[in-house]
Amino acid sequence: MAEPELRVLLVCLGNICRSPAAHGVLVHQLAQAGLAGRVAVDSAGTGDWHVGRPPDPRMLSAAQQRGYDLSPLRARQVCAADFDEYDYILAMDNSNLVDLRALAGASRAHIALFLSFGDTALREVPDPYYGGDEGFVEVLELVEAGSRGLIARLKQDLPA
């Protein structure tokens, strides 16, 4: 299999709710678009509290109900090498974006909000961790729309 041509890292605070959801949804949509082998996807958290753990059970369950299997994912923390390896490093909210920019150094990666490529009313994916089940459904709806917008952008970067 050829090397991926683009690398995308999706980042939230804990890497157990929002960025794993975005990870699973983006991988699913890339496969549907015939781009599975051309774009590498990973996710990470700015924090280290949940490193090594699977996604939050509420996120796993909400994702499963929409057809996404997040169970193989394990949390990891953003590291310095990410800023050399990834072309796009995309934050779920403005706080994550500020933290990423502080770590970025001279990175040539495109560091932005994940929802900045689509047409969602929100520009940030709200943190569902301390809320009810409906927050996890909202995360999935937002990252589905965000992934569509991001894929349209990635297609512009990929040679036909």
Instruction: Report d(CA 17, CA 13) in Å as an integer.
Output: 9
Beta bridge partners of 77: 45
Q: Which of residues 62-101 bind ligand 4NP (CB under 6 A)?
A: none
Distance CA 41, CA 58 (A): 22
Going through 34-91 in order, the beta strands assigned E by DSSP cover 39-45, 88-91
Does 135 engage in binding with ligand 4NP (CB under 6 A)? no
Q: Which of 42, 82, 93, 127 is catalytic?
A: 127
Residues in binding contact with ligand 4NP, number by CB under 6 A:
10
Catalytic residue check, 17: no
Of residues 8, 10, 14, 83, which one binds ligand 4NP by CB under 6 A? 14
53 forms part of the interface with ligand 4NP (CB under 6 A): no
Q: Which stretch binds ligand 4NP (CB under 6 A): 13-21, 28-36, 100-108, 145-153?
A: 13-21
Element holding 152 (H helix, E strand) = helix 133-157
Long-range contacts of 103-110 (CB under 8 A, 24+ apart): 103/78, 105/80, 107/83, 109/83
Which residue among 8, 9, 10, 13 contacts ligand 4NP (CB under 6 A)? 13
- Residue 6's nearest CA partner among 126, 33, 120, 123 is 33
Catalytic member of 18, 42, 82, 93: 18
Would you call 56 a catalytic residue per the annotation? no
Residue 49 in the binding site for ligand 4NP (CB under 6 A):
yes
- Asked if 146 is part of the footprint of ligand 4NP (rule: CB under 6 A), the reply reads no
Supply the minimum distance, in Å, between the C-beta of residue 14 and ligand 4NP: 3
Q: Which residues bind ligand 4NP (CB under 6 A)?
A: 12-18, 49, 127, 129
Residues with catalytic roles = 12, 18, 127
